[in-house]
Structure 1
């Protein structure tokens, strides 16, 4: 698997799985009806460093971004977002993207990374914990999950120091 910085031409391969994941309303606190144009502006925003994972055929099977979570004197705390094509789950793509982004964040001088709203039923919570993230707190009943009803949103953090 190759992980590289994304180019504008990658968006047509990212959009189908981005849309599928957000429309499912199970793991992201973004509007399930987000248009393609709005999604591209959100994900491919120039303020973010966006990466893609390609399989052996060159198909884009996942994407992630890295960005400061805060500004000013707190700009050295990173934030990131991750999406893997649901049809490609269980192949280590998410872990490979996560490890790549964590390495990039540390290399770029970030002191840590925070996730502001990880749906507590998201299977990725286990991945983040295995990579050293801790749950700082949970906002109870903050997310309307289509199958589980009201669930919490975890705030997760990992220090690079």
Structure 2
């Protein structure tokens, strides 16, 4: 994906050689405890095991050879709901304004569609994570549910979590 200049964002499957870069992105996000339902004191090994756990496929986004964003995409639930994908994303602070998050979500949607998924659902978007909510809405996701007080935010107390949904059969347009 081109960022408008001569530099291109490269999204590729993550490997064990990416663990250090992935942890550099995940650790501050998890330690802050503001956006993921992950214990803030999770160990590096447990966090990486969770990020790479089945049924998800992990990806990294590189710009100028540096990993600045990560995602993992896979089945949300098995059985009769196996046609709905789920995904998680995180970016390095240096990624801001470089199109990394936009490229990752577009890649996740394309990858899921190519794997035969018909929709993508984000089960638990913390409502105070305004950047993520805005980004996902721009990418065509609708808020289809609100879970009142479902997330204990370290600064704001109990805040809502949102369920967001996108029909992948309608293409990659918002």
Could you tell me which runs of 5 or more consecutive residues in structure 2 were left unpaired when the two chains were aligned: 1-8, 170-174
Query: Are the counterparts in 2 of residues 21 and 86 from structure 1 also a CA contact under 8 Å?
Result: no
**C-alpha distance in structure 1 between counterparts of 2:152 and 2:105, whole Å:** 26
Matches within 5 A, 1:9-158: 9-56=17-64, 58-122=65-129, 123-158=131-166
Query: Are the counterparts in 2 of residues 25 and 146 from structure 1 also a CA contact under 8 Å?
Result: yes
Could you tell me which runs of 5 or more consecutive residues in structure 1 were left unpaired when the two chains were aligned: none
Matched residue of 1:12: which SS? helix
Matched residue of 2:140: which SS? coil
Aligned residues: 160
Please name the residue that 2:4 is paired with.
none
**C-alpha distance in structure 1 between counterparts of 2:148 and 2:99, whole Å:** 30
**C-alpha distance in structure 2 between counterparts of 1:5 and 1:27, whole Å:** 24
Question: 1:31: Cα distance to partner?
Answer: 0.8
Matched residue of 1:29: which SS? coil
**C-alpha distance in structure 1 between counterparts of 2:105 and 2:119, whole Å:** 14
TM-score (ref. length: structure 2): 0.88
Of residues 143, 167, 172, the one that matches 1:159 is: 167
**C-alpha distance in structure 2 between counterparts of 1:109 and 1:153, whole Å:** 28
Q: Does 1:8 align with 2:11?
A: no
Question: 1:73: Cα distance to partner?
Answer: 2.1
